[in-house]
């Protein structure tokens, strides 16, 4: 089982879209795939028509029950082979309730380990803030995918995200592979072109050497509750996510070997 986290402390950069697209592609390839909504706003759950105000049981119950999985937590989507573990708005209260409890950072990792035979790919959709949910996602995954919108303010947000990741890695004494993915790229705009040049200059070793273009069909796909890769496999956006998946898959076996599975890490 390969687990990938999609994270950035900035909202609106394409995190949920990346999870839906890569998750859809994995399922389309016949891989049993789970997408997990860790954002209390529940955008990923809403995408697949589950209401984060009323969803039960979901990820909140999983955390409240110390990582106990119930089969009812895993929901089907409109895509064969793609399941969803939904979020509820109650997740917003977790930090206050459980944030300082020992072992809290490993709940998701332990729960996913129990699903090892059931799913081949797991994608974690993070909230745009650092807290117990993002810490859990990072501890549970073998790679972090960081979407960055190609516009002027995005690089500042990325700096913050990279500092956060470095801090968490130091505390766990473990380096986690990262892929920075330029998103919403529009080659006709100065903001996109110049931001991409800046990213190449500052983050050349972590930067994916391609882009996810701006594609209005993503909105169309979300209206139909389907990944764009399913609705329109040949849309520019779908093709770009296929190239991204190929890049991430190429490193997946190495990532897994490198992952230290010391369960007693101090988090």
Nearer residue to ligand ADP within complex by CB, 68 or 247? 247
* Closest chain position to Mg ion (CB): 16
Cβ-based neighbour number of residue 253 at 10 Å? 11
* Min dist. Cβ of residue 211 to ligand ADP (A): 9
DSSP 8-class letter at 155 = H
* Min dist. Cβ of residue 24 to Mg ion (A): 16
37 binds ligand ADP (CB under 6 A): no
CA distances from 92 to 18, 63, 148, 210 (A): 22, 12, 24, 34
Q: Which two tokens stand for residue 132?
A: 């117990």
Contacts of 240 (CB under 8 A, 6+ apart): 210, 211, 212, 213, 215
237 binds ligand ADP (CB under 6 A): yes
Residues 11-50 binding Mg ion (CB under 5 A) are: 15-16, 43
* Min dist. Cβ of residue 31 to ligand ADP (A): 22
Q: Which two tokens stand for residue 127?
A: 């909230």
Sheet holding 143-149, edge to edge: 75-76, 82-85, 33-37, 121-125, 2-6, 143-149, 178-183
Q: Which does 143 bind (CB under 5 to 8 A by kind): Mg ion, ligand ADP, none?
A: none
121 binds Mg ion (CB under 5 A): no
149 binds Mg ion (CB under 5 A): no
Position among 148, 207, 214, 238 found at the interface with ligand ADP (CB under 6 A): 214
* Min dist. Cβ of residue 129 to ligand ADP (A): 12
For residue 83, list its beta bridge partners: 34, 76
Distance, CA of 161 to CA of 180 (rounded, Å): 11
Is the dihedral angle over the CA atoms 9, 10, 12, 17 positive or is it negative? negative
14 binds ligand ADP (CB under 6 A): yes
150 binds ligand ADP (CB under 6 A): no
Q: How many residues bind ligand ADP (CB under 6 A)?
A: 17
Q: Which does 232 bind (CB under 5 to 8 A by kind): Mg ion, ligand ADP, none?
A: none
Which residues of the shown chain bind Mg ion in the complex (CB under 5 A)? 15-16, 43
Which residues of the shown chain bind ligand ADP in the complex (CB under 6 A)? 11-17, 43, 183-184, 212, 214-215, 218-219, 222, 237
């Amino acid at each position: 089982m390969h687990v990938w986290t999609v994270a950035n402390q900035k909202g609106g950069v394409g995190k949920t879209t990346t999870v839906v697209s890569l998750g859809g592609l994995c399922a389309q390839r016949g891989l049993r795939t789970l997408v997990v909504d860790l954002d209390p706003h529940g955008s990923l759950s809403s995408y697949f028509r589950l209401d984060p105000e009323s969803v039960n049981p979901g990820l909140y119950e999983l955390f409240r029950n110390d990582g106990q999985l119930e089969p009812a937590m895993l929901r089907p989507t409109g895509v064969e082979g793609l399941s969803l573990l939904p979020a509820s708005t109650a997740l917003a209260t977790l930090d206050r309730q459980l944030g300082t409890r020992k072992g809290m950072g490993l709940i998701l990792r332990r729960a996913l380990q129990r699903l090892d035979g059931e799913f081949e790919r797991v994608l974690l959709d993070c909230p745009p803030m650092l807290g117990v949910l993002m810490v859990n996602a990072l501890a549970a995954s073998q790679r972090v995918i960081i979407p960055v919108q190609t516009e002027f303010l995005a690089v500042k947000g990325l700096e913050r995200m990279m500092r956060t990741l470095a801090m968490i890695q130091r505390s766990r004494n473990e380096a986690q592979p990262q892929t920075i993915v330029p998103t919403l790229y529009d080659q006709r705009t100065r903001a996109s072109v110049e931001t991409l040049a800046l990213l190449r200059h500052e983050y050349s070793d972590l930067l994916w050497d391609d882009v996810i273009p701006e594609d209005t069909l993503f909105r169309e796909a979300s209206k139909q509750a389907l990944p764009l890769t399913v609705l329109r496999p040949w849309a520019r956006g779908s093709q770009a996510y296929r190239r991204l998946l190929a890049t991430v898959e190429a490193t997946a076996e190495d990532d897994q070997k490198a992952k230290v599975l010391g369960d007693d890490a101090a988090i």
